Structure 1
Amino acid sequence: MTAAASARQILTRLHEVMASRMYAQGKLDRVVGIVGESLTSEVCSIYLLREGMLELFATKGLNQSAVHVTRMAIGEGLTGVIADNVETLNLAEAKAHPDFQYRPETGEEKFHSFAGVPIVYRERAVGVLCVQHVEPRRYEEVEIEALQTTAMVLSELIANAELIDEEEALGLSAKQSGPQTLSGLTLVKGLAVGRAVYHQPRVQITQVVADDIEAERQRVYRAFDKMREQIDTLTGQADFGVGGEQEEVLKTYKMFAYDEGWSRRINEAIDSGLTAEAAIERVQQHTRMRMREIDDPLLADRMHDLEDLANRLLRIVSGQLGTAASQGLRKDTILIARNLGPAELLEYDRRRLKGVILEEGSLTAHVVIVARSMGIPVLGRAGGVRGIIRDGDEVLLDATAASATVRPTTSVADAFETRFAKTREKQAAYAELRDVEPFTRCGTRIQVMINAGLRDDISALAMTGADGVGLFRTEFQFLVSATLPQRERQTRLYRDVLDAAGNKPVIFRTVDIGGDKSVPYLASDIADNDENPAMGWRALRLALAREGLMKAQARALLEAGAGRSLHVMFPMVSEPWEFDAAKTVFDEQLAFLRSKKKLLPESIKFGAMLEVPALAEVLDLLLPKLSFLSVGTNDLTQFLFAADRGNPILAQRYDWLSPSILRFLRRVIQNSVGSGVDVAVCGEMGGRRLEALALLGIGFRRLSITPAAVGPIKELVRKVDLAEISAAMTTWLMDPSIDIRRELTLWAEERGIEVD
């Protein structure tokens, strides 16, 4: 029997039970009998959550005297593990599992095989449906799928019969009264205050069992069509302009929307007898379970994109179309979601949307790219949000400190507001420095530039008064695209960026993908078993190997720079020959355009990123070929210390102000003296006031940083005497036993220089 036929047989009988006037306990007793008989299983049992414990509510095959007597905590025994992890177990020998617990009152000692599935209500396990058999065997996939479908029906029965306490099931009662603090992962820094609004009003599935399978299938087909129309409409309304990164994000969505495997699984669930809503939810539950098993964060992000689409499809097919965005935000809002697609974020009113808290989310997610461009603080990995935050609760979001306070006391709210007000005052003061050039006290002009990756980021030049774009990350367009961006699309983006920058320089870094910035359409270029992807097949290495990719980008940049100055920088150069090979690609494309009588850039300056320590040993060979050099402190630090910056345990272990880093950077500066090459620091290090002070002290005169840091760094520069800080740094670096961070902090405080 097929999975669909087996499930349909069970559903037909369950439908009759649910439609009967029988009391709830009687219905559960009938259900275990139907499931056990249909799967020829000697035991079928239902456990439900009550008073924080999983209680045996009904059984066929175990001792009836154990009903309402046997109870287990969440996480206790096999049943507790299923509920705790919201996962399926399928065991040929139950006793071999490390979490197995024997309950003598049930009489289950003679049964060996065990399979169990969670009963899920509003995304949380509220019970467990399990079967057992005397003979040791693993249950077949068809049987597991039948159990999972039955569990969906049970969820509806349990909720309607009020067999569980909804607040207890959702973990609300104890945690949703009084102040609470959430911690998570900083995705986009910033402070925000607002009222909690859930992004996705719950879609209530009122009918699980289908009356007409073909009618349900047609409803799903129509919903797919409407969903695709919505994404097409969003593309046309892109705030970043047609052809921008947002359109690329939506193209990735389209790829998932047309995925045959996804639609096939939904159709198979309908074949089993489920309504369109229940079928989508059934497949979505399976996706969530898969996500819990995925260790690859990039693959998990793509699965989140698929879930985002599933939520949209479910709302369409149910007629419950509105997200909080469509209903409109009426107050300053902190948006709450499990995860959020970038397309959905763009639907919100920016005037009201102050911050976002995600139960999941990662630094590589598409939504983070868009949120950073919009200037919206985002806190991710905030587990248990739904059990802590109610709709309408006041939330103080400190994404910089990776925390949020819910329902704060008056004193906590006042303290936060005072801090927030000071932040706004500082921002206002920094804004006044927009047109002030950053000269030190001794009269040296320091260049302060911004890092960017979206065309919208270029507006920060005017707002901050920065000297230009020291790093434009061209890979953002590649990361949010479902396919390799066409040359024409790349040209349009680069031309728009140059137009927006006006007479200020923009340094375009050629594409840096691979490693932690994987893209599906180049998956074959990257080794699956790359144990250290940050040090693997990525950036210039990958681009030189993909000749077409490098040529297309070179041509796009040259065409975009026609009639003006063009600055091009190559990432992750390890040896001079790599720079030569990359420049040759540009020279060949330049010759081609010249042969076609095309308008060419007035001047082209080439530079390199110093991220790989090996390059510092051959700078004397490379410098004569360069116009500028940018030290990428983010990657350089992890390479010098052999410490993955994505590892939270190691992230705080190695200090940018350690003698090893500062001595290395000073040596780079010293070896560049007299070369005529501008040397800059490009990365987070230059945007932190204390670290920037140290960089000035060892000889750096150009910093490329986040737009938000421009004001604070300008203000810092104007208080510094370079001779004084240089002398201090020289003294401290001669004695490695000195705590430079402490000494530098004291030095700054003595001179009234505020540090981070």
Structure 2
Amino acid sequence: MSATASARLILTRLHEVMASRLHAQGKLDQVVDVIGQSLDSEVCSIYLLREGMLELFATRGLNKSAVHVTRMAIGEGLTGTIAANIETLNLAEAKAHPDFQYRPETGEEKYHSFAGVPIVYRERAVGVLCVQHVDPRRYEDIEIEALQTTAMVLSELIANAGLIDEEEALGLTEGQTGTHTVTGLTLVKGLAAGQAVYHQPRVTIDQVMADDIEAERQRVYRAFDKMREQIDNMASQAEFGGAGEHEEVLETYKMFAYDEGWSRRINEAIDSGLTAEAAIERVQQRTRMRMREIDDPLLADRMHDLEDLANRLLRIVSGQLGTAAQQGLPRDSILIARNLGPAELLEYDRRRLKGVILDEGSLTAHVVIVARAMGIPVLGRARGIRGIIRDGDEILLDADHSTATIRPSPQVTAAFDERFAKTREKQAAYAKLRDVEPFTRCGTRIQVMINAGLRDDISALAMTGADGVGLFRTEFQFLVSATLPQRERQTRLYRDVLDAAGDKPVIFRTVDIGGDKAVPYLQSEHAEHDENPAMGWRALRLALEREGLLKVQARALLEAAAGRDLYVMFPMVSEPWEFDAAKQVFEDQLNHLRTKKKLLPDSIRFGAMLEVPALAEVLDILLPRIHFLSVGTNDLTQFLFAADRANPKLAERYDWLSPSILRFLRRVSLAMVGQQVELGICGEMGGRRLEALALLGIGFRRLSITPAAVGPIKELVRKVDLGEITSAMNGWLSDPTVNLRKELQAWADQRGIETD
């Protein structure tokens, strides 16, 4: 008998059993008989999750006296292993498996072969269905598939019959229904509180068994047609700049979308008696189980692609389309997702979205760059959150300490609120400094500017009283776009930013994409195999290769700044000729606009970012050609220390207050003395008070930092005497101590200068 026929026969009989007037135990006793007879199995047993343990609820072939007596923890024995890993086991000799445990009360010693499948309900294992034979043999694929289909239907039936607790049906053990703390990787620091909202709300399958198989088949056909249309549109709408990884991804999607084998398996599941939704989920479960057996990362990625498509298909066929952003956030929310794209994050109401927790996520992900700009704390790599957090759960997110507290107790909430209140008090105090100019005690004016990347960020100028935008990251528009932004769109954004900034300067950094900020529609053949993307074909290197890209941006900036002052900064300049080449692109576009009698900027000031250490060795050549120089401390630090900042093991290893980097920065500062070139710092280093204190002591007078750091840095500046800190820094750097950070902290404490 085929797997489809076996499953259909079992489903028909199960439906009759569950529709009968028998009590719950009587139904289960009949269920194991039905399955055992249909699969010609000597033993069939059902274990269900009760109070955190897998309990033998019904059996055909084992000792009846073991029912409700034999219990195993998740991960214990073969049954516990199946539940823990949500995987299928198919063994010719059960005793040979390292997790095998003998339970004498069951009388199973005479059975050799064993096969078991998890009973999965809402992505969690709530039980195990297993069969055994005396003869040692592996079960046929059709038998395993029949068991898997049966287990899926059984999960719905036992939940509806009240055979498992609602909490356990949701995959929450007793310990997970109360306060629970999850840990992860801090992607964006900050505190936040709100109710859990899933980015893609779970598709609830209300009906598992089909009333009309042909009607279900037609629903799947229509869903496949719609999904394939969506995938084709994705490919046709993209304005690609050449071959690249994006095309491979789309081709893989198209391959799966049109895969006859995938659609055939779904059809077979429908033939066995499942609804369209249940059939897709049944095949998706099989995919997840196969993914766990794949060691090849490339193949595993392809299986992830298939699961993404299965989710898309499931949403189409169920009519449960859209994300939580499209449905709207009714209250303060913490967003839960496996991963997010930057465009998806920007769809959310920033007044309601307080934080994000990701099952995956990395420090270099595009969404992290955007979230940091939005001031939204993000916790990543919080494994298993989907089995712990329910929609609507209260969450306290402490991304400063890489934790999130789920369903907090009143005491925990009170402590968190107190800490939050202190943070708000400090913010209120900093807000009072909005209109206060940051002069040092010795009377020197320090420029405090903000970093920005979104149109809405410019409002921070008025809120903080910052002197301008020291770094506007133009790549954000490229990162959140599905296609290369057209010149008109770029011009509109830059003009809006300048309008919002008023008479305060905005330094536009030309597009810094590629490397760890790759976009699918604009890949370079040089970047396809970058082993170290941060040091690869990116930023100005890519822009000079794709001259059309820089030409369009230059034209957009020049037109947007008509009648105003324009500040342009080139990223990742390694040698003076790269600056000259980039500036020439702007000069060519400027001449073109002159011939068209277009209104031009009143003035154009060009600058460079010092991120590549090599540039420091040729400053004497570069300085006569530029108006300003900004040191990008984030990239500079990783290049100086040969330490990838995306690597968690190295992220905190090298200190910004190390004599090596401070000596380097002081050398750059001294090279600027007597030059008509402004020097500034861009990056997180300038936004930390102790580090900012050190920077003031080695000659830096302009800091471009996050808006949230403006108040604290202004407060710091007003307490500093530049003569004192310069003298102290010169002494420490001439004869470095073992711990310069400790020395500087003690120096600040003695003078009542508060640090982070």
The alignment's TM-score, normalised by the length of structure 2, stands at 0.81
Aligned-partner SS, 2:430: helix
Q: Decide which moves more: 550-559 or 217-226.
A: 217-226
Cα offsets for 1:443-497 (capped at 9, x unmatched): 2111111111222212212221222222222222222223333333333322332
Matched, 1:269 2:232: no
Matched, 1:27 2:31: yes
Distance change (3 Å), C-alpha of 1:436 and 1:328: same
Equivalent position of 2:741 in the other structure: 741
Give the aligned residue type for 2:611. Answer: E
**Alpha-carbon distance, 1:755 to partner:** 0.7
Equivalent position of 1:15 in the other structure: 11
Give the aligned residue type for 1:261. Answer: F
* Inter-partner Cα distance in structure 1 for 2:461 and 2:549: 29
Q: Which runs of 5+ in 2 are unaligned?
A: 19-26, 232-245
Identity %: 76
**Alpha-carbon distance, 1:723 to partner:** 0.9
The 8 Å contact of residues 335 and 353 in structure 1, kept in 2 or not, is answered as yes
The 8 Å contact of residues 509 and 569 in structure 1, kept in 2 or not, is answered as yes
* Inter-partner Cα distance in structure 1 for 2:89 and 2:635: 42
**Alpha-carbon distance, 1:582 to partner:** 2.9
Give the aligned residue type for 2:651. Answer: A
Aligned-partner SS, 1:521: coil
* Inter-partner Cα distance in structure 2 for 1:225 and 1:473: 40
Give the aligned residue type for 2:424. Answer: R
* Inter-partner Cα distance in structure 2 for 1:414 and 1:108: 59
* Inter-partner Cα distance in structure 2 for 1:305 and 1:449: 46
**Alpha-carbon distance, 1:193 to partner:** 3.5
Equivalent position of 1:160 in the other structure: 160
| 1:290-689 paired onto structure 2 within 5 Å | 314=314, 317-318=317-318, 332-336=332-336, 350-364=350-364, 368=368, 371-372=371-372, 374-385=374-385, 394-408=394-408, 410-522=410-522, 525=525, 527=527, 529-689=529-689
| 1:35-434 paired onto structure 2 within 5 Å | 36=39, 48-54=48-54, 72-76=72-76, 79-87=79-87, 106=108, 111=113, 117-128=117-128, 148-168=148-168, 170=170, 172-176=172-176, 179-196=179-196, 203-219=203-219, 261-262=256-257, 265=262, 268-270=265-267, 272-273=269-270, 274-282=274-282, 285=285, 314=314, 317-318=317-318, 332-336=332-336, 350-364=350-364, 368=368, 371-372=371-372, 374-385=374-385, 394-408=394-408, 410-434=410-434
**Alpha-carbon distance, 1:683 to partner:** 0.7
Choose 1 or 2 for highest CA Rg: 2
**Alpha-carbon distance, 1:525 to partner:** 3.2
Cα offsets for 1:551-588 (capped at 9, x unmatched): 33333333333343322222222233333333343344
Distance change (3 Å), C-alpha of 1:583 and 1:167: same
* Inter-partner Cα distance in structure 2 for 1:258 and 1:172: 34
* Inter-partner Cα distance in structure 2 for 1:490 and 1:108: 75
* Inter-partner Cα distance in structure 2 for 1:259 and 1:734: 63
* Inter-partner Cα distance in structure 1 for 2:289 and 2:550: 39
Distance change (3 Å), C-alpha of 1:382 and 1:409: same
Distance change (3 Å), C-alpha of 1:146 and 1:109: closer
Distance change (3 Å), C-alpha of 1:751 and 1:209: same
Aligned-partner SS, 1:441: coil
* Inter-partner Cα distance in structure 2 for 1:723 and 1:229: 68
Aligned-partner SS, 1:624: helix
The 8 Å contact of residues 170 and 386 in structure 1, kept in 2 or not, is answered as no
The 8 Å contact of residues 213 and 271 in structure 1, kept in 2 or not, is answered as no
**Alpha-carbon distance, 1:695 to partner:** 0.7
Cα offsets for 1:568-624 (capped at 9, x unmatched): 222222233333333343344444444444444333332222222222222223222
Distance change (3 Å), C-alpha of 1:290 and 1:191: farther
Q: Decide which moves more: 213-222 or 484-493.
A: 213-222
* Inter-partner Cα distance in structure 2 for 1:746 and 1:302: 55
**Alpha-carbon distance, 1:698 to partner:** 0.8
Distance change (3 Å), C-alpha of 1:704 and 1:328: closer
The 8 Å contact of residues 227 and 312 in structure 1, kept in 2 or not, is answered as yes
Cα offsets for 1:611-640 (capped at 9, x unmatched): 222222222232222222221111222222
* Inter-partner Cα distance in structure 1 for 2:252 and 2:350: 27
Cα offsets for 1:285-333 (capped at 9, x unmatched): 5676688779999x989969985x9768756754667977788766544
Aligned-partner SS, 1:272: helix
* Inter-partner Cα distance in structure 1 for 2:496 and 2:3: 56
**Alpha-carbon distance, 1:653 to partner:** 1.8
Q: Decide which moves more: 703-712 or 455-464.
A: 455-464
* Inter-partner Cα distance in structure 2 for 1:738 and 1:296: 44
The 8 Å contact of residues 656 and 685 in structure 1, kept in 2 or not, is answered as yes
The 8 Å contact of residues 3 and 145 in structure 2, kept in 1 or not, is answered as yes
Q: Decide which moves more: 59-68 or 704-713.
A: 59-68
Distance change (3 Å), C-alpha of 1:61 and 1:622: farther
Distance change (3 Å), C-alpha of 1:75 and 1:623: farther
Q: Which runs of 5+ in 1 are unaligned?
A: 232-250
* Inter-partner Cα distance in structure 2 for 1:498 and 1:387: 47
The 8 Å contact of residues 607 and 627 in structure 2, kept in 1 or not, is answered as yes
The 8 Å contact of residues 475 and 512 in structure 1, kept in 2 or not, is answered as yes
**Alpha-carbon distance, 1:9 to partner:** 3.0
Give the aligned residue type for 1:25. Answer: D
Aligned-partner SS, 1:507: strand
**Alpha-carbon distance, 1:117 to partner:** 4.9
CA RMSD, 1 decimal = 4.5
* Inter-partner Cα distance in structure 1 for 2:305 and 2:367: 11
* Inter-partner Cα distance in structure 2 for 1:343 and 1:289: 31
Distance change (3 Å), C-alpha of 1:343 and 1:296: farther
Cα offsets for 1:673-714 (capped at 9, x unmatched): 223222211111111111111111111111111111111111
Give the aligned residue type for 1:272. Answer: A
Give the aligned residue type for 2:685. Answer: M
* Inter-partner Cα distance in structure 1 for 2:448 and 2:721: 17
* Inter-partner Cα distance in structure 1 for 2:569 and 2:253: 37
Give the aligned residue type for 1:126. Answer: V
* Inter-partner Cα distance in structure 1 for 2:540 and 2:122: 47
